[in-house]
Amino acid sequence: MATIFQRHFPWRENNDFQLLVDGGEIFPAMLTSIRAAQSQIFLEMYLVESGSLLDQFIASLMNAVQRGVNVYVLFDDYGARGLSARDRQRIIRAGIHLAIYNPLRLGKVRRNLLRDHRKLLVVDMAQAFVGGMGLTDAFDVEVNPQTFWHDVAVRIEGPVVADWYAVFCRNWRYWAKQDVLPVGVSGADVAGVSAGRVAGGHHFGALSIHHFFLKRVRNAERRVWMMTAYFVPSHRLLHALRKAAKRGVDVCLLLPGSKTDHPAVRYAGHRYYYSLLRAGVRIFEYQPRFLHAKVLMCDDWVSLGSSNMDRWNLRWNLEANQEIENSDFAACARELFETDFASSEACYLNTWQMRPRYRRVLEWFWGKVALWLENIGSRIRRKR
């Protein structure tokens, strides 16, 4: 089993990965795994809000406890502001072990900015689920059939599940001040064919996710495709994307359209479109719903999970992605991208230069705000 104190996890062979698209596939698969649990359930989640979807998860976790399963739940305090006091008490009274990541405190500005943005479920060391989803009705296809947020996750079986268990345990032990009981079931003998690696298992793991992606972009031969909910990239990533496009690699960005929960971030990201389009990067803005997914693909390598490639994310959030090296899984990811491209509006250099003046003003203004926040964040981090 992987040690929970190592900084970077190794590549592990013989895993099986299944891509799950939107809440209609993600949540039934997660609930099925929870309902079949025999020993342990570990759930780590950023965005949590009382509602129909959370009710299903609480009920399934309560049933698991009644079967003798040990259940451990770790919620981020800021992300779980929508968790009602009633639901919190239901969780605790059911015998579910609950811990809160970095409780918000008055006067602790620097500390309050540090958030656990991971989305992780590990069941019996046999399966893990990693993605960008939250336990809120915004992702529920049944509750919001027209406006549900578009997201993806991956179901994982094989040796790499032990690394996800280690990721959870390290965070749990720090915030819960207690250990988890020994795990009685292991899925390390699954006969999979895919290589996988946990990225971002340590604190500020988004930096390693960013590093691994940059390295792949610089070495890509055919394709660099990226979908993210918030596009405020680092200067190094911008340079790498432009350089890859100029040497003939197919570089495509799939980003949110007007349907987004943070319009200001979208406008801040627009200031990079001109230089990217001029370099030959293709940009698509997704139209049907809010694009919340985070998927990176370079040739046959795919990284997906909780991490957006934005600067705030890199500086403050605890993140984790699953990296996968397999041509069949890459083909599934490519099919997802192509389906979403067909539901998107393409941006072209000539029409982009003709956008209305008011949009240019908004881009300038929110770009300045983003830069100001970045500078303040840098000063705060240096004082820690």
How far is it, in rounded angstroms, from Cα 202 to Cα 204?
A: 6
Q: Is 243 a catalytic residue?
A: no
CB 226 within 8 A of CB 252: yes
Active-site residue identified among 270, 292, 310, 340 = 292
Q: Tell me which of 97, 116, 119, 151 is the catalytic residue.
A: 119
For residue 22, indicate whether it is catalytic: no
Integer Rg of the chain from CA: 20
Given a contact cutoff of 8 angstroms between Cβ atoms, the answer to whether 220 and 194 are in contact is no
Per annotation, catalytic residue among 22, 76, 87, 124:
124
At 294, list the tokens: 């985070």
Distance of alpha carbon 132 from alpha carbon 306, whole angstroms: 5
Specify whether 119 is catalytic: yes
Catalytic residue among 16, 294, 310, 340: 294
Q: Which of 77, 250, 299, 300 is catalytic?
A: 299
Q: Is the torsion defined by CA of 134, 138, 144, 145 positive or negative? A: negative
Helix (H) or strand (E) holding 265: helix 263-270
Residue 299 annotated among the catalytic residues of the structure: yes
Diameter over CA atoms, the chain: 63
- The token pair that represents 370 in the structure block: 């983003």
Neighbours of 316 (CB within 10 A): 19
124 has catalytic annotation:
yes
- Catalytic residue flag (residue 55): no
Query: Which two structure tokens, joined as six digits, stand for 328?
Result: 């069949």
Answer left, alpha or beta for residue 278, where phi above 0 means left and psi between -120 and 50 means alpha: alpha
- Indicate which residues carry an active-site annotation: 117, 119, 124, 292, 294, 299
